[in-house]
Amino acid sequence: MKVLNAPFVQSFAKLCDDGWQLRFHERNGGNLSYRLTDADVELARHEFNTDRPWTEIGTDVPTLAGTYFMVTGTGQYFANVLAKTMETCGIIEIDETGKRYRIVWGFTTGGRPTSELPTHLMNHAVKMAATNGAHRVIYHCHPVNVIALSFILPISDAIFTKELWESMTECPVVFPAGVGVLPWMVCGGRDIGVATSEKMKKYDVVIWAHHGIFCSGSTFDETFGLAHTVEKSAMGQDDD
């Protein structure tokens, strides 16, 4: 089977397109990563190219040593992922120290993984441990109502959780642990990754004030559904 037709690649690209359709991804905003199963790796290995160099991740993720991730590329537009999956996305392998990665598939026109790779991988490490390996998907998007809410509400886990739970009956069921909220921070580096992964020990959703959402789940549907539910609930807020 061509890797492009593998179910995990198709689902990955579909999530990107769904996010684009819902206007969660202006320009190159947002990023997605998926930890491959052993079966995914076996299915894809015949197209892996291991000639590319090892590159520093910028953080340490020792528990992810030897694992593989499909990731969106830095500077790439979610609008293009469905039509140009191999140019806009790739599969990376984490080395045996958890400090470096190399591209083994995709990024055919010279691309590189998302600028938020340190945060994605630190979140994967936390969620893999917290869910006994069940969580495989980390998704970051820029949904407008969640961003707007972070200009209005105090930056507090408890207040955001209460407001989001109250505005839609489904919410306490969809995110029973609530949501974490971080104040504005410089994105794309280790510090925001450490802060986000601390919150991810408790929550499946972390809101970056004035920026967007990070969320975690077992499947593409569940993870995208979580972001969508939080955004829809944020849209239901009024100013009382």
Query: Which residues carry out catalysis?
Result: 116
Residues across the chain: 240
* Contacts with ligand 2HA, residue ranges (CB under 6 A): 28-31, 115-116, 140, 187
The DSSP symbol for 237 reads -
Binding mask 171-210 for Zn ion (x = CB under 5 A): ----------------------------------------
Give min distance, CB of 187 to ligand 2HA, in A: 4
Instruction: Please report how close the Cβ of residue 177 comes to ligand 2HA at its closest, in angstroms.
Output: 23
Burial class (CB in 10 A: 0-12, 13-18, 19+), 154: exposed
Residue 115 makes CB contacts below 8 A (sequence gap 6+) with: 31, 74, 187, 188
Nearer Cβ to Zn ion (19/212): 212
Burial pattern 45-55, b for ≥16 Cβ within 10 A else e, equals: eebeeeeeeeb
Query: Nearest approach, Cβ of 140 to ligand 2HA (angstroms)?
Result: 6
Residue 62 amino acid letter: P
Partner whose binding site includes residue 120, from Zn ion, ligand 2HA, none (CB under 5 to 8 Å by kind): none
Residue 43 or 192 with smaller CB distance to ligand 2HA = 192
The encoded tokens of residue 2 equal 């061509």
Binding site for Zn ion (CB under 5 A): 212
